[in-house]
Chain A
Amino acid sequence: MKKETDAKRYKEPFFKTVRRHWMLLAMLAPALIYVVVFNYIPMTGIVLAFKKYQYAGGIYGSPWNGLDNFKALMISGKLGQVTRNTLLYNVAFIFLGMACEVGSAILLNELFSKRFKKVAQSFMFLPYFISWVVAGAIMYNIFNYERGVFNHIVTALGGQPFDLYNTPSAWPPVLIFLKVWKQTGYGSVVYLAAITGMDQEMFEAASIDGANAWQKIRYLTIPSLLPTMMIMLLLAIGNIFRGDFGLFYQTVKSSAILQPVTDVIDTYVFRLLIDTGDIGVSAAAGLYQSILCFVTITICNKLVKKADPDYALY
């Protein structure tokens, strides 16, 4: 592939490298300081999960209380429910989302009307451009019980009006649809970029050998997209225990009826922190989430690495 420019294989002394590349290191400094302050130092704050937080003592001065915070979490009985919700929603988001993204990228690429393609793509991008606040307002416009467009149509067709905001069982499909609706336009561009970068001669050779358009999609385009799909999949799996806070917070609001089916770890931790102000217990829930994520991605990456090192994330 690319030739190794740094031909020197011997190990250069540390300070010599620093002196030679001091300007590159200086250019790296802002980002380094950023992640140290906002990511690495807060990582040490996980000790809060094992402490009884007191304002005067702060993070490091408060007294330890062993596993009390975790016990309090277990007693609340919510942990299993929010973990299950987070996991199931994310599995649906990942697989349905990827199917829609890859599918629309392939179809967009095949369309021969460039203008239609451009217009369709612009439309598909609209939902990506709005905040979850606006998405929540849109949902209210459509599903509001008395005035929503949805009930408007249903009653006009002679059906019974449907009260989404009081029907917990309808929420999983609605939220999954909303998420896919919002991200497909963006997600498909990632795959479209990958398709554009593919070797065109490969497709021409296949045509000469008599492959039809469907066969080329099935045997050339999709297999060539696998590496990109694998990266996106692994990245998503690393966050499989992290809920999309905006999605759940802005559409469900604080409805108690809907909580059993719409509460995810992130909204749960947020409520513990902001509403009840219980620093120790919410830190414990956050640590629980981080560990789940870390273990999942480590195992998945190991497995992928074993199967094919090229596909591994790191």
Chain B
Amino acid sequence: MSKVKIMKDGHHLSRDELSVNIVGYILVGLFALVCVIPFYLIIVASFTDEASLIRNGYPLIPTDFSLQSYMLCLKNPVAILKAYGTTIGVTLVGTALAVLIATMTGYVLSRKDFPWRNKFSFFFFFTTLFSGGLVPWYMMCIRYLNFKNSYLGIILPLMFSVWNMIIAKSFMAGIPSAITESAKIDGANDMTIYVKLILPLSKPLIATLSLFAALAYWNDWYNSMLFITNEDMFMLQYYLQRVLGSAEAMRIVAEKSGIALPTVPLESMKMAMTVIATGPIVLLYPFVQRYFVKGLTIGAVKG
């Protein structure tokens, strides 16, 4: 770490401020490193030659650089591209729907002149307190909504979350109610007010909710696992889960039977697949970072 500046806003830093900062730099810095090092290790392993991986294990520093695993992943890219296509499509549609429904619901519940807002808030909130459990929900999806091998099965389960609704409601409660009131006097209806006035004022909220929803969809493997058996419809994470599982299975079989594995770089390919499946969503973060703290207001359910 570089020498800390002893000046802050033109003032000399007092000893206690300095000590808080030293502790802060050390702890935060260490934790940040612990967070980032595993990603570094995965990336390094994905670029390492398979033979070297088998001989020396996963490396700490890049040695025996090789693009072999990526070449192999992209040699037969149909399955990966299909999973990518499905995931991007589902993420875009799902995120748009999730943000729309969370902000619309949040807006209505934040309207102080809406007399039933607390009753409805509790109606939504109650679903987080009590649930029928996995089984009745699963039966509903499979038997009555026909989610088996349907895109609805991967879009609908993540479309609405009470948590996002509460965030939207808390944020919108902070928008002066005079805006709604004066627009009403001018004769605008509720939908127009929501679309033309409230949404443009809610950019930090929309950015935050979009990020949450996009992450939930991009990282979803659970609903694919429950509902999808058609390989052409796999989401990326579920595809990765299957690749990791089958690579591991192949390795165990080969070890037990003593048959030498075909020269497929399984270990490095696993890591390359992991990088390929993670990449795009991480790149989203810098675009929403500046909105993040503003968009995340956690308010109470009531009121």
Do these two chains really belong together in a complex? yes
- Residues of A participating in the B interface, judged by any CB pair closer than 8 Å: 2, 4-6, 12, 17, 21, 23-24, 26-28, 30-32, 34-35, 37-46, 48, 58-59, 100, 103-104, 107-108, 110-113, 116, 118-134, 136-138, 140-142, 144, 146-149, 151-153, 181, 184-185, 189-190, 192-194, 196-197, 212-214, 217, 228, 231-232, 235, 238, 245-246, 250, 253, 266, 269-270, 273-274, 279, 282-283, 285-287, 289-290, 293-294, 297-298, 313-314
CA of A39 to CA of B165 in the docked complex: distance in angstroms?
Answer: 15
* Contacts beyond the supplied A131-B221, A138-B42: 18 A-B pairs with Cβ under 8 Å: A34-B160, A38-B140, A48-B135, A107-B23, A111-B28, A112-B5, A113-B4, A121-B32, A123-B33, A131-B218, A131-B220, A136-B244, A137-B270, A141-B38, A152-B60, A294-B129, A313-B300, A314-B301
* Set of chain B residues within 8 Å of A118, measured between Cβ atoms: 289
CA of A6 to CA of B181 in the docked complex: distance in angstroms?
Answer: 11
**Does B108 contact A28, Cβ atoms closer than 8 Å?**
yes
- Knowing A214-B19, A314-B302, the reply to whether A37 touches B140 (Cβ < 8 A) is yes
**Does B244 contact A137, Cβ atoms closer than 8 Å?**
yes
CA of A149 to CA of B156 in the docked complex: distance in angstroms?
Answer: 40
State which size class the interface on B falls in.
Answer: 35 or more
- Knowing A134-B237, A193-B293, A228-B298, the reply to whether A297 touches B191 (Cβ < 8 A) is no
CA of A41 to CA of B140 in the docked complex: distance in angstroms?
Answer: 8
* Set of chain B residues within 8 Å of A21, measured between Cβ atoms: 114-115, 190
For residue B226, give the distance in angstroms from its CB to the closest CB of chain A: 8
- Knowing A245-B222, A313-B301, the reply to whether A35 touches B240 (Cβ < 8 A) is no
For residue A79, give the distance in angstroms from its CB to the closest CB of chain B: 14
User: Which residue from A122, A217, A246 sits with its C-beta under 8 Å from B20?
Assistant: A217
**Does A5 contact B105, Cβ atoms closer than 8 Å?**
no
| Interface of chain B: mostly helix, strand, loop or mixed | helix
Of all A-B residue pairs in the complex, the 8 with the closest CB atoms, nearest first, are: A286-B133, A45-B136, A131-B219, A212-B16, A107-B24, A147-B57, A123-B32, A42-B132
User: Which residue from B38, B123, B165, B292 sits with its C-beta under 8 Å from A189?
Assistant: B292
- Knowing A43-B131, A130-B219, the reply to whether A27 touches B32 (Cβ < 8 A) is no
- Knowing A12-B115, A120-B32, the reply to whether A297 touches B134 (Cβ < 8 A) is no
Find residues 99-134 in chain B having any chain A CB closer than 8 Å to their own CB: 101, 104-105, 107-109, 111-116, 120, 122-125, 127-134
**Does A190 contact B131, Cβ atoms closer than 8 Å?**
no
When each residue 21-55 of chain B gets 1 if its CB lies under 8 Å from chain A and 0 otherwise, what string results? Answer: 10111011101111110110110010000000110
